[in-house]
Structure 1
Amino acid sequence: MRKTARLTSLAAAGLLALCSLTACANDAASTASADSGSKGDGKGTKVKIMVGGLDKVIYLPAMLTQRLGYFDSEGLDVELLSEPAGVQAETALVSGQVQGAVGFYDHTLDLQVKGKEVESVVQFSQAPGEVEIVSNKAAGDITSAKDFKGRKLGVTGLGSSTDFLTKYLAVKNGVKVSDFTPVAVGAGPTFISALQQGSIDGGMTTDPTVATILDKKAGKILLDMRTPQGSEEALGGPYPSSSLYMQTDWVNGHKETVQKLANAFVKTLKWMSTHSATQIADKMPADYSQGNKLLYAVAIKNTLPMFTKDGVMPKDGPETVEKVLKAFNPNIQNADVDLDRTYTTEFVAKAAQSTTG
């Protein structure tokens, strides 16, 4: 999610080639400059949100909220944009291209030590929703994270949360970060192809990629962090991951708009908690199932336990994330992170009082 200074994202490079960061920030501000009046095309207050992979099940609440009409009912005209990795969504946010990002909460800690004030305003999850997969060829040799040494391990992007978590699992199990090679392979077909062709020995990914790999018998699960229990076993506690996070200054200046976003997302999370995976799949765009709706519903079912029902930060979650990042990230190891500034429950608390369905 981070590494903005390196501009590894092609999307970020293209953005910076077109306009300066200042110009982009001004453009983003103009799309939702005031809670009382910034309108798009008559649909409501315009807000742009970048998602680190719209078709990933871990970020499902973003598109589902739109499909359920909850943005519209709050008087919002939300434009959902997509990048293949959370680090690119983060880049779009801090450059001012968008007002919000749907990605992992751990970016807020990473950015704070870089001097960027960003906070989670709706916490979608209490577990990473990530799975460490190994190729069939390597399965006999990689039986735990202790065997990561000398291996090529796939992540969505360098500096992404999959990169963070892979490094933590290695260090926790006695393997130095320098002892293995992270390879940016994205998700979906690119991840699967890399696994099948031997470009990676294993890697960290999410559903529906996981479900497809298992269906194709292209790999095996090494670690499953799609449930709170799996998070506890692998990471030692709840790991708040997918969230809506925004720049703190923007939040403070647009509280009415942020409240409307929180209302819409909390309503979606409550809806998800009372509907089946099949019912959820039915609401999503047809192409998300990649021609196999049954398999897509299975992917949703396996990931559903990670989601919160109210958008509230899980107890002790920020502490677990800080512990994970401090294990391998020298910037955070040597910094005092103010966890209270990395998230807020102000908006979801009000949403809980006003949301009925």
Structure 2
Amino acid sequence: MQRRHFIAGGLSAAALPSLSFAQGIEKPKVTIAVGGKNLFYYLPLTIAEQLGYFKAEGLDVNIVDFAGGSRALQAVVGGSADVVSGAFEHTINMQFKGQPMRAFVLQGAAPQIVLGVNPKTMPNFKSVADLKGKKIGVTAPGSSTNVLANYVLAKAGLKPSDVSFVGVGAANGAVAAMRAGQIDAISNLDPVITLLQRSGDLKIVTDTRKVAEAEQVFGGPMPAGCLYAPTAFTDRNPNTAQALTNAMVRANKWIQQAGPGEIIRVVPESYLLGDRAVYIDGFLASKQAMSVDGSFPAKGAETAFKALASVDSKLAEAKLDLNAVYTNAFVQKANAKYPKG
């Protein structure tokens, strides 16, 4: 019965004006938690907000920014936010912990995370094994930047305990920590990475802004930024989840057609970190890793599980339902409603 009602609701929403659609939304006021909103990883979220796509769907969205994805997840677990704009792999960890989450629209087709070393403190760096005993800056401990670093370390025979992870955020603090030599390596995203690279303060080791390199690193498609929420949220509020998905799919498609100049006109000035040229370079480097239409790849959950399992033996032994951590149902309807964005 609920499924029939959901399908009927989706069809009527596509046919009627946004005002009528808004009346069918179970939760018009939605709080989204995000960890590092200025990053290109979350650009579709900012575009949907800035261009009024959420409002067009009848939503009043409040976006709360945190230092990293793990902090954003804590906000939803604690009940102060409804939805996370964050890394896909958290849905797998949360099912393992008995708190099921479901991802319902993709923002990133690849993680866009770059692991690089500090040329000042590690001038003789030759391989990942050299990071043993060193300090690695991540956006926040437990976040996707930490997961990627763990994974790359594991492939080089190192355990997470062989290094020290330091939370440096996703903006100027991360840049300052590298330039001051407070950390020996960094796992972060654009525009932070491009800013450090341009000034000679970073030597890239692994670059998952390149979809091909990301698939090589992880052994398959690795879904990245997405909107996810407790499964109870999407079950109880299907029209709300659909409205959020519609806005994000429109944003994904707008980004694919936009030039750097258009992006700069839309995002807040603070995102540029004081250098428009660096921001443009960062956008061009990251654009290829952004989702075209919000769909999750069929083997994405399996790839993410393998990455997490490689550094967590208990998770590796767990029998999880990987089909339950995501759905493309909302995305399919959104693409039918907005075929061109």
- Provide TM-score, normalisation by structure 1: 0.85
Please state if 1:246 is matched with 2:254: no
Q: Distance in 2 between matches of 1:116 and 1:182?
A: 26
Any stretches of 5+ residues in structure 1 without a counterpart? 1-33, 40-44
2:34 alignment partner in structure 1: 51
- Indicate which of 249, 266, 270 corresponds to 1:266: 249
Q: Distance in 2 between matches of 1:333 and 1:318?
A: 14
Q: Distance in 2 between matches of 1:140 and 1:291?
A: 28
- Indicate which of 289, 292, 297 corresponds to 2:280: 297
Q: Distance in 2 between matches of 1:293 and 1:169?
A: 31
Within-5 A mapping of 1:5-154: 36=24, 45-154=28-137
- Provide TM-score, normalisation by structure 2: 0.89
Please state if 1:181 is matched with 2:164: yes
Describe the superposition over 1:28-67 as per-residue Cα deviations: whole angstroms up to 9, x where unpaired.
Answer: xxxxxx974767xxxxx21110111111111111111111
Please state if 1:280 is matched with 2:263: yes
Letter in 2 for 1:126: A
The offset of 1:105, in angstroms, is 0.4
Letter in 2 for 1:324: A
Q: How many residues align?
A: 319
RMSD, aligned CA: 1.7
Q: Distance in 1 between matches of 2:23 and 2:71?
A: 27
- Indicate which of 295, 304, 308 corresponds to 1:312: 295
- Indicate which of 171, 176, 180 corresponds to 1:197: 180
Higher mean C-alpha deviation, range 213-222 or range 240-249: 213-222
Letter in 2 for 1:150: G
The 1:37/1:101 distance shift into structure 2, 3 A limit, reads closer
- Indicate which of 298, 303, 316 corresponds to 1:333: 316
Contact 1:49 1:98 in 2 (8 A): yes
Report the identity percentage.
Answer: 34
Q: Distance in 1 between matches of 2:182 and 2:239?
A: 48
1:182 match: secondary structure = strand
Q: Distance in 1 between matches of 2:288 and 2:314?
A: 32
- Indicate which of 140, 156, 161 corresponds to 1:157: 140
The offset of 1:161, in angstroms, is 1.2
Q: Distance in 2 between matches of 1:244 and 1:62?
A: 9
Q: Distance in 2 between matches of 1:277 and 1:265?
A: 19
The offset of 1:153, in angstroms, is 1.0
2:64 match: secondary structure = strand
The offset of 1:191, in angstroms, is 1.5
2:16 alignment partner in structure 1: none
Contact 1:126 1:317 in 2 (8 A): no
